[in-house]
Amino acid sequence: MSVPTLAVFKLASCDGCQLTLLDCEDELLALAGKVRIAHFLEASSEVAPGPYDLALVEGSVTTAADAERVREIRAQSRHLVTMGACATAGGIQALRNFADVEEFTRAVYARPDYIDVLATSTPVSDHVDVDFELRGCPIDRGQLLEVITAYLAGRKPDIPDHSVCFA
């Protein structure tokens, strides 16, 4: 029987949610042999191609390349879980959704013509189907471990669905 694969990806984010995963080192070691971490650039330069059993995605979609990338991740992943406020709600980057992004880039960059971004920062679920959203900034360590364990065991995570609170 093949070992399930876990992959971790980053879009526009601060890496804080990935650090939560790194902070689970002892628990991940306990899972050694039961899961193969196939893609996690924060922890290893090894990059194994998909398909993946579980993909964790941090960060929001802020460029056309992000949008394309998240579609590729979705196509390669049996389950896709977004982690953190950036991935589930657009994050602090979404403040620009209420402003003129071109005005911002003109004010900040010497060569704004080099900046190629979307006018908005959006959650991953605006672009692809998401199996579960882990909320928080950063995410909760215990909930992250529950999500990983649940999907690898083939069951739903035992975490309250907060979506009604964030409609």
Identify the residue among 4, 84, 90, 123 touching ligand SF4 (CB under 6 A): 84
> Binding string to ligand SF4 for residues 127 to 146, with x set by CB under 6 A, is what?
----------xx--------
Query: Token pair of 90, please?
Result: 């657009």
> Binding string to ligand SF4 for residues 40 to 69, with x set by CB under 6 A, is what?
------------------x-----------
Judged by DSSP in three states, 162 sits in coil
Rounded to a whole number of angstroms, the minimum distance from the CB of residue 105 to ligand SF4 is 21
| Integer CA distances (angstroms), 28 to 45, 56, 59, 80, 101, in order | 18, 14, 22, 19, 40
Rounded to a whole number of angstroms, the minimum distance from the CB of residue 138 to ligand SF4 is 4
d(C-alpha 91, C-alpha 56), whole Å: 16
d(C-alpha 162, C-alpha 138), whole Å: 16
The residues binding ligand SF4 (CB under 6 A) are 13-14, 16-17, 58, 84-86, 91, 137-138
